[in-house]
Amino acid sequence: MAPRASLTDQESLSMFVFYCPHCGEKREEEEFAYGGEAFIERPEKPEAISDEAWGDYLFMRKNPKGWHWEMWQHATGCRKFFVVRRNTATHAVQGTWTLAEGRKAYDAEESAP
């Protein structure tokens, strides 16, 4: 039987450190819960769309390689949700915002050429 791959000491110690914009503090990843892709548009009249379109709304996500907007909850702290812009390939975090501030940054990015 082949040995399992093991992490180096540095890799096993690395984890996300997020700044909670509500608490104003940096905390380790274990205090947070992933909330999924940010800013998904809910259908205006869900009862009027097809089952296929409803399924797409519920389950289909962008899943990009690169920069991505995510929602996280400070589960063991203030319990509030906030937005993170994170690179899914490198795990670099560009920043964290409240939902309202994050929406403005997201909209500005989406409207840029």
CA dihedral sign, ordered 98, 101, 105, 108 = positive
Question: How many domains would you assign to the chain?
Answer: 1
Q: pTM of the full predicted structure?
A: 0.79
Q: Is residue 3 part of a domain?
A: no
Q: Is residue 68 part of a domain?
A: yes
- Predicted local distance difference test score (pLDDT) of residue 14: 63
Q: Is residue 20 part of a domain?
A: yes
Domain range enclosing 100: 16-111
- A 10 A CB-CB count for 96 gives 20
Q: Is residue 4 part of a domain?
A: no
Residue-wise pLDDT for 57-80, tens only, equals 899 888 889 999 999 999 999 999
Q: Is residue 85 part of a domain?
A: yes
